[in-house]
Structure 1
Amino acid sequence: MQKDELIQLHTLLAQIKRHLESQSSDYDFSEYGSLSISPVHIHRSKADHKHAIFVLGNHLASIISEDELSGIGRTSVRMQEFAERTGRHSPISNN
Protein backbone atom coordinates (compact mmCIF):
# COMPACT_ATOMS: atom_id res chain seq x y z
CA MET A 1 0.00 0.00 0.00
CA GLN A 2 1.31 3.43 -0.90
CA LYS A 3 1.69 6.15 1.72
CA ASP A 4 -1.18 8.21 0.31
CA GLU A 5 -3.46 5.15 0.49
CA LEU A 6 -2.45 4.57 4.11
CA ILE A 7 -3.25 8.20 4.90
CA GLN A 8 -6.69 7.78 3.28
CA LEU A 9 -7.34 4.69 5.40
CA HIS A 10 -6.07 6.51 8.49
CA THR A 11 -8.48 9.35 7.68
CA LEU A 12 -11.42 6.96 7.40
CA LEU A 13 -10.61 5.28 10.73
CA ALA A 14 -10.18 8.68 12.41
CA GLN A 15 -13.62 9.72 11.09
CA ILE A 16 -15.16 6.55 12.55
CA LYS A 17 -13.40 7.32 15.85
CA ARG A 18 -14.81 10.87 15.88
CA HIS A 19 -18.29 9.54 15.12
CA LEU A 20 -18.13 7.06 18.01
CA GLU A 21 -16.84 9.77 20.34
CA SER A 22 -19.75 12.02 19.34
CA GLN A 23 -22.18 9.22 20.23
CA SER A 24 -20.67 8.37 23.61
CA SER A 25 -17.85 9.49 25.88
CA ASP A 26 -17.32 5.93 27.11
CA TYR A 27 -14.64 5.16 24.54
CA ASP A 28 -11.00 5.55 25.55
CA PHE A 29 -8.71 6.22 22.60
CA SER A 30 -5.75 7.20 24.79
CA GLU A 31 -3.38 4.63 23.26
CA TYR A 32 -4.02 6.09 19.80
CA GLY A 33 -3.80 9.62 21.22
CA SER A 34 -0.43 8.85 22.78
CA LEU A 35 0.99 8.22 19.31
CA SER A 36 0.62 11.96 18.55
CA ILE A 37 -0.19 11.32 14.91
CA SER A 38 -3.27 12.09 12.87
CA PRO A 39 -4.04 11.72 9.17
CA VAL A 40 -3.11 15.37 8.57
CA HIS A 41 0.48 14.67 9.63
CA ILE A 42 1.53 13.83 6.08
CA HIS A 43 5.18 14.49 6.92
CA ARG A 44 5.25 11.44 9.23
CA SER A 45 6.60 8.18 7.87
CA LYS A 46 4.62 5.46 6.19
CA ALA A 47 5.53 3.18 9.11
CA ASP A 48 4.12 5.72 11.61
CA HIS A 49 0.80 5.88 9.77
CA LYS A 50 0.68 2.10 9.43
CA HIS A 51 1.24 1.67 13.18
CA ALA A 52 -1.46 4.26 13.95
CA ILE A 53 -3.88 2.43 11.65
CA PHE A 54 -3.27 -0.86 13.44
CA VAL A 55 -3.63 0.68 16.91
CA LEU A 56 -6.80 2.57 15.97
CA GLY A 57 -8.19 -0.34 13.94
CA ASN A 58 -7.64 -2.69 16.86
CA HIS A 59 -9.54 -0.43 19.22
CA LEU A 60 -12.40 0.15 16.77
CA ALA A 61 -12.67 -3.58 16.09
CA SER A 62 -12.77 -4.35 19.81
CA ILE A 63 -15.54 -1.79 20.32
CA ILE A 64 -17.79 -3.36 17.70
CA SER A 65 -16.98 -6.98 18.47
CA GLU A 66 -19.42 -8.93 20.58
CA ASP A 67 -16.99 -11.57 21.74
CA GLU A 68 -13.53 -12.98 21.06
CA LEU A 69 -15.01 -15.77 18.88
CA SER A 70 -16.74 -13.47 16.38
CA GLY A 71 -15.10 -12.56 13.09
CA ILE A 72 -14.66 -9.00 14.30
CA GLY A 73 -13.18 -10.29 17.57
CA ARG A 74 -10.55 -12.19 15.62
CA THR A 75 -9.88 -9.05 13.58
CA SER A 76 -9.23 -7.14 16.81
CA VAL A 77 -6.71 -9.74 17.94
CA ARG A 78 -4.97 -9.62 14.55
CA MET A 79 -4.85 -5.80 14.56
CA GLN A 80 -3.26 -5.92 18.02
CA GLU A 81 -0.59 -8.29 16.69
CA PHE A 82 0.10 -5.93 13.76
CA ALA A 83 0.27 -2.92 16.11
CA GLU A 84 2.78 -4.68 18.33
CA ARG A 85 4.87 -5.77 15.37
CA THR A 86 4.95 -2.31 13.76
CA GLY A 87 5.58 -0.66 17.13
CA ARG A 88 8.91 -2.47 17.31
CA HIS A 89 9.95 -0.66 14.14
CA SER A 90 10.17 -3.82 12.12
CA PRO A 91 11.76 -3.37 8.71
CA ILE A 92 8.99 -1.73 6.70
CA SER A 93 9.52 -0.03 3.39
CA ASN A 94 8.95 3.74 3.73
CA ASN A 95 7.75 4.37 0.18
Structure 2
Amino acid sequence: MKKQELIHLHGLLAEVSNQCAKWNDCPVALDEYESLGIRPTSIHKSKTDHKAAVFALAGGITDSMREGEAEAVPATAD
Protein backbone atom coordinates (compact mmCIF):
# COMPACT_ATOMS: atom_id res chain seq x y z
CA MET A 1 0.00 0.00 0.00
CA LYS A 2 1.29 3.44 -0.88
CA LYS A 3 1.80 6.09 1.79
CA GLN A 4 -0.97 8.27 0.36
CA GLU A 5 -3.42 5.35 0.50
CA LEU A 6 -2.37 4.57 4.07
CA ILE A 7 -2.94 8.19 5.11
CA HIS A 8 -6.38 8.08 3.50
CA LEU A 9 -7.23 4.87 5.39
CA HIS A 10 -5.95 6.48 8.58
CA GLY A 11 -8.32 9.40 8.03
CA LEU A 12 -11.28 7.11 7.38
CA LEU A 13 -10.62 5.10 10.54
CA ALA A 14 -10.29 8.33 12.53
CA GLU A 15 -13.76 9.35 11.29
CA VAL A 16 -15.18 5.96 12.29
CA SER A 17 -13.73 6.31 15.79
CA ASN A 18 -15.13 9.85 16.07
CA GLN A 19 -18.58 8.60 15.06
CA CYS A 20 -18.38 5.76 17.60
CA ALA A 21 -17.50 8.28 20.30
CA LYS A 22 -20.62 10.29 19.45
CA TRP A 23 -22.82 7.20 19.80
CA ASN A 24 -21.94 6.72 23.51
CA ASP A 25 -22.73 2.99 23.28
CA CYS A 26 -19.46 2.33 21.51
CA PRO A 27 -16.60 3.67 23.66
CA VAL A 28 -13.38 3.28 21.71
CA ALA A 29 -10.21 2.64 23.72
CA LEU A 30 -7.61 4.75 21.97
CA ASP A 31 -4.82 4.71 24.55
CA GLU A 32 -2.33 2.97 22.25
CA TYR A 33 -3.29 5.17 19.29
CA GLU A 34 -3.05 8.39 21.35
CA SER A 35 0.39 7.39 22.66
CA LEU A 36 1.74 7.26 19.10
CA GLY A 37 0.97 10.94 18.51
CA ILE A 38 0.27 10.39 14.80
CA ARG A 39 -2.79 11.93 13.17
CA PRO A 40 -4.08 11.59 9.61
CA THR A 41 -2.93 15.16 9.03
CA SER A 42 0.66 14.28 10.04
CA ILE A 43 1.71 13.82 6.42
CA HIS A 44 5.37 14.42 7.24
CA LYS A 45 5.46 11.24 9.34
CA SER A 46 6.76 8.04 7.79
CA LYS A 47 4.69 5.34 6.15
CA THR A 48 5.67 2.99 9.00
CA ASP A 49 4.34 5.48 11.56
CA HIS A 50 1.00 5.73 9.77
CA LYS A 51 0.84 1.94 9.46
CA ALA A 52 1.32 1.58 13.23
CA ALA A 53 -1.37 4.21 13.82
CA VAL A 54 -3.80 2.43 11.48
CA PHE A 55 -3.28 -0.89 13.27
CA ALA A 56 -3.69 0.73 16.71
CA LEU A 57 -6.82 2.59 15.64
CA ALA A 58 -8.37 -0.43 13.95
CA GLY A 59 -7.56 -2.55 17.01
CA GLY A 60 -9.24 -0.07 19.33
CA ILE A 61 -12.35 0.09 17.16
CA THR A 62 -12.70 -3.68 16.79
CA ASP A 63 -12.07 -4.27 20.50
CA SER A 64 -14.85 -1.84 21.42
CA MET A 65 -17.20 -3.51 18.94
CA ARG A 66 -16.33 -6.93 20.35
CA GLU A 67 -17.04 -5.79 23.92
CA GLY A 68 -20.40 -4.32 22.94
CA GLU A 69 -21.62 -7.52 21.32
CA ALA A 70 -23.87 -9.46 23.68
CA GLU A 71 -24.03 -12.78 21.86
CA ALA A 72 -22.24 -14.29 18.92
CA VAL A 73 -24.00 -14.16 15.58
CA PRO A 74 -24.14 -17.56 13.86
CA ALA A 75 -22.18 -17.83 10.63
CA THR A 76 -24.98 -19.64 8.81
CA ALA A 77 -27.63 -17.92 6.72
CA ASP A 78 -31.37 -18.32 7.30
TM-score norm. by structure 2 comes to: 0.77
Deviation at 1:64, TM superposition (A): 1.6
Structure 2: distance between partners of 1:8 and 1:26: 23
What CA distance in whole angstroms lies between the structure 2 residues aligned with 1:5 and 1:26?
Answer: 27
Q: Distance in 1 between matches of 2:27 and 2:59?
A: 17
Give 1 or 2 for the bigger CA radius of gyration.
2
1:40-90 Cα offsets, whole Å, 9 max, x none, are 0000000000000001111111122238x88xxxxxxxxxxxxxxxxxxxx
Give me the whole-angstrom Cα distance separating, in 1, the residues matched to 2:27 and 2:33: 15
Matched, 1:2 2:11: no
Distance, in Å, in 1 between the alignment partners of 2:46 and 2:28 is 27
The equivalent of 2:21 in structure 1 is 21
Tell me how large the CA RMSD over aligned residues is.
Answer: 2.1
CA distance in structure 2 between the partners assigned to 1:37 and 1:30 by the alignment: 12
1:30 deviates by 1.8
Q: Unaligned regions of 5+ residues in structure 2, if any?
A: 74-78
Counterpart of 2:52 in structure 1 is 51
After the TM superposition, which residues 5-84 of structure 1 pair with which residues of structure 2 at under 5 Å, given as runs?
5-24=5-24, 26-65=27-66, 66=69
- Which structure has more relative contact order (CA 8 Å, sep 6+)? It is 2
Give the 3-state SS of the residue equivalent to 1:61 in structure 2: helix
Identity %: 39
Gaps of 5+ in 1: 71-95
2:27–2:64 contact (8 Å) kept in structure 1: no
